[in-house]
Amino acid sequence: MAKVAVVLSGCGVYDGAEINEAVLTLLSLEQQGASYQCFAPDREQMHVINHLTGEPVAGESRNVLVEAARIARGNIKPLTDARVADFDALVVPGGFGAAKNLCDFAVAGAQMTVQADFLALARDFHQAGKPIGLICIAPVMSAAICGEGSRCTIGNEAEVAAAIEAMGGEHLECPVSEARVDTEKKLVTTPAYMLAGSVSEAYAGISDCVKEVLALS
């Protein structure tokens, strides 16, 4: 049975991990015979968003790990506890947390930096020849993790695709129901809610992403 490290970036589409994507990732892993352990950075998230209004909440701070524990039902560990030797693959659901708490793409665009602990872990997976699945907006980190020429997708959003190319990646267009595989880099990506209009649409691509990741492990 393959064992997969799943990195979450908080809880909630606007400031953390996209909840549907995270749950669908865990469901797909179970359905396809893999086990998993969730991790998240033990740090303050970039900001807190009121998900009813979409507006930032002044004066409030939340911890990424504590928030992500909501999704994982408490079964989660600090990112610094993750060891590549213990796992066969790495999967990262999307949501703005991936672009705010795992990196700063949401504010820096193509000049982004990736959070140091996450970058070190993800690069260790890549250097160990273990597959990585990046979902939704998370593929903007592809070149930073897997090197120049990394082939990935966020669907067909032109501005984000251009930023991926500017950072040294190669963007591939992809429908919501599919994933794209860079066999050389052992990198699998899917658009999920970059394109999805429903939970079932997101599930189709995420399930395909998980299938391809497990096939490479």
Buried b vs exposed e over 98-131: b needs ≥16 C-beta within 10 Å? bbbbbbbbbeebeebebbebbbebbbbbbeeebb
Those residues whose C-beta lies under 8 Å from the C-beta of residue 202, and which sit 6 or more positions away, are: 20, 21, 24, 176, 192, 193, 196
> Look-up: residue for tokens 């490479």?
216
Q: DSSP assignment, residue 107?
A: H
**Candidates 136, 146, 152, 209; catalytic one:** 136
Is residue 146 part of the annotated active site? The answer reads no
Beta strand 180-182 pairing with 187-190:
antiparallel
CA distance to 14, 15, 65, 117, 191, per residue, from 95 (Å): 7, 7, 15, 19, 11
Q: How far apart are CA 130 and CA 119, in angstroms?
A: 15
Per DSSP, the three-state class of 126 is: helix
Catalytic residues: 136
